[in-house]
Amino acid sequence: MAGTTGAVARPRAADGGANRWVVLLVLCVSLLLVALDATVLHVAVPAVTEDLRPGGVELLWIVDAYPLVCAALLILFGTLGDRVGRRRVLLYGYGIFGAASALAAFADSAEVLIAARALLGVGGAMIMPATLSILRSVFPDRRERATAIGIWTAVAAVGAATGPVLGGFLVEHFWWGSVFLINIPLMAVILPLGARLLPESRGGLDGPWDVWGALMAAAGVLGLVLGVKRLGAGDGILDIATAVPLLAGVVLPVLFVRRQRRRTHPLIDVRMFAAAAFSTSVGCIVLCMLALVGLQLIAVQYLQLVLGLSPMETGLRLLPLTFAAMAAGATGSYTLRRIGPRRMAGGGFTLTAGSVLLLTAMGSYDRPLLLTTGFVLLGFGLQTTLFAAYESMLSEAPQEYAGGAAAIGETSYQLGAGMGIAVLGSVMNAAYAPGLTALPGVPRDASAAAAHSLGEAYQVAEDLGGAAGAVLRIAARDSFVHGLRVTLLVSAALLMAGAVAALRLPRTMGTDEAAGPGCVPGARVPGHRTTPAPVPPARGHGHEVARPS
């Protein structure tokens, strides 16, 4: 594929040529498609269930196959792009994504749809880190790159928010397969356009690609994300289906890091994590996504089950959060230049913590102004921190490892999302369940069943009927509101811990020339050589996977 387009004039990868903003447009459209696919299926699940009749496990894999596979393969394809060419990997990703979309749209069984969703994950893992690493190459000037990253992050927010709305429209007017079919004409346009306009860039690394290391990283990430998802679904840590993936997710990344330190030609120079700006940025991304996804999940339940809003009304209530995130991305470059990464990330965390504390005033009755204000501050604060973290991480990484660094950022994004569901969901459940014990007139087994979730409590209350059902329904609603407040307080504490951690980021943005090692394309981290020799262990920061949906 790359060979057929090699003679076409295009901007050089690292010179920031005149076509760089056109290149950014192509990259943003690519990201928009991937972000859409992460969420567009959610509203189509009932229609898929009615048509294909999947079992419970099959339905779970229909939803999860895409993010799991995508998360697992980000580092593999991100580092492969550093070796063979990021544009080449991106173009092949377009082709796979389009073919998988067609397969998913016309799937006639749950098994075929699961396979298609997994293949979509492969394409998404090829596309996502390539867009960010090509952006790093095309915008060598840090100030321009900050503007480009702001646009890139805003597009990601638009894609994730638009997915359910677009999916709902398509399912209502066509059939569930249309949520995948929309990708095909867009890919038919972007594939030749990308082949003509996108620059090729490589890391300039010598030596072979570490295939076993890449597979080890993929298996470790898959195990960690799968284990965290199962914890979030309520499975105990001692459950073998949860414990085995989690064990693999802990052991394999440790072995991967040891392998990279010993190799002459590593996939990723793990010494990047010894740089405070890089490791702190990764941690900020994880913490931001932990707060965002966990709080969004609980907010959706609150809006629908406590306030009684419809799915469409719920989506509209959450739109201010997305618009605020877009505004933060659009103004991020200006803000970063004025106040620097440290104050920008720390201020974003603090603003988000304040919005979360404001939302503790939510009760059993609708307060639209309070909710809108809280969601606006939440979206703006988190996106502000994400912007500062992504920009600092990408600028700190050496150009030759840009694909691997981008993959690390996307992996962190996905891991934080999974942890948000697991951590904040567990806090919510722990605070919710005690309020349903020993209710007057309610059988013990009914109270135990209602303690699983608010939705189940409502169903049990309906089955009970009468005074006992009414008592159970009111108690469950009040317990949920109490659990929500406790969860918000825990989330605020985590966000303030993030604000403290952000103090390790650079005080000022500076320029590429002045920002230290790793900011100039091709620059090395301290002690880095073209052919690295074994070095003593350096402090690292674990983290993980590829973004929204």
Least confident of 80-94, 109-123, 499-513: 499-513
CB-neighbour burial class of residue 66 (10 A; exposed 0-12, middle 13-18, buried 19+)? buried
For residue 358, the model assigns a pLDDT of 93
Which residues fall within 8 angstroms of residue 397, CB to CB, at 6 or more apart?
Answer: 136, 272, 278, 404, 405, 518
Residue 517's pLDDT band (cuts 50, 70, 90): very low
CA–CA separation, 511 and 522 (whole Å): 15
User: String of b and e for 504-534 (b: at least 16 CB within 10 Å)?
Assistant: bbbeebbebeebbebbbbebbbeebeeebee
- Residue that is written with structure tokens 């970063």 in the block: 336
151-184 pLDDT tens trace: 887 777 777 667 767 777 777 778 888 888 888 8
> What is the distance between the terminal CA atoms of the chain, rounded to a whole angstrom?
29
Indicate the DSSP class of residue 437.
Answer: S
CA–CA separation, 501 and 134 (whole Å): 29
Q: The whole model's pTM is what?
A: 0.73
Q: Is the dihedral of CA 390, 395, 396, 397 positive or negative?
A: positive
**Nearest Cα to 153, choosing from 327, 402, 401, 344?**
327
Least confident of 11-15, 149-153, 378-382, 481-485: 11-15
Residue 543's pLDDT band (cuts 50, 70, 90): very low
Average pLDDT, integer, range 277-290: 87
pLDDT at 541 over 50: no
Degrees (nearest 5) of the Cα angle 14, 20, 23? 110
Helix or strand run (H / E) with residue 449: helix 444-450
243-271 pLDDT tens trace: 888 888 888 888 888 888 887 777 777 77
Which residues fall within 8 angstroms of residue 392, CB to CB, at 6 or more apart?
Answer: 277, 278, 280, 281, 341, 345, 505, 506
Q: By percentage, how much of the chain surpasses pLDDT 90?
A: 11
CA–CA separation, 239 and 235 (whole Å): 7
- Residue that is written with structure tokens 């009927």 in the block: 465
Assigned token pair, 523: 């620059």
Least confident of 197-201, 332-336, 358-362: 197-201
Q: Which of 32-46, 130-144, 360-374 has the highest mean pLDDT?
A: 360-374
More confident of the two residues 291 and 515 = 291
Q: By percentage, how much of the chain surpasses pLDDT 70?
A: 84
For residue 525, the model assigns a pLDDT of 35
**Nearest Cα to 348, choosing from 386, 391, 294?**
386
CA–CA separation, 134 and 25 (whole Å): 12
Spatial contact of 288 and 382, defined as CB atoms under 8 Å apart: yes
Average pLDDT, integer, range 84-92: 88
pLDDT at 22 over 90: no
For residue 545, the model assigns a pLDDT of 33
pLDDT at 518 over 80: no
Helix or strand run (H / E) with residue 165: helix 142-173
| DSSP symbols for 134-155 | HHHHH--SHHHHHHHHHHHHHH
For residue 56, the model assigns a pLDDT of 65
Least confident of 6-10, 121-125, 268-272: 6-10
Q: What is the largest CA-CA distance in the chain?
A: 79
Residue 207's pLDDT band (cuts 50, 70, 90): low
Assigned token pair, 545: 């996977």
Mean pLDDT of the chain: 78
Degrees (nearest 5) of the Cα angle 92, 94, 95? 65
Report the SS3 class of residue 519.
coil
Please report, as a single letter, which amino acid is at residue 215: L
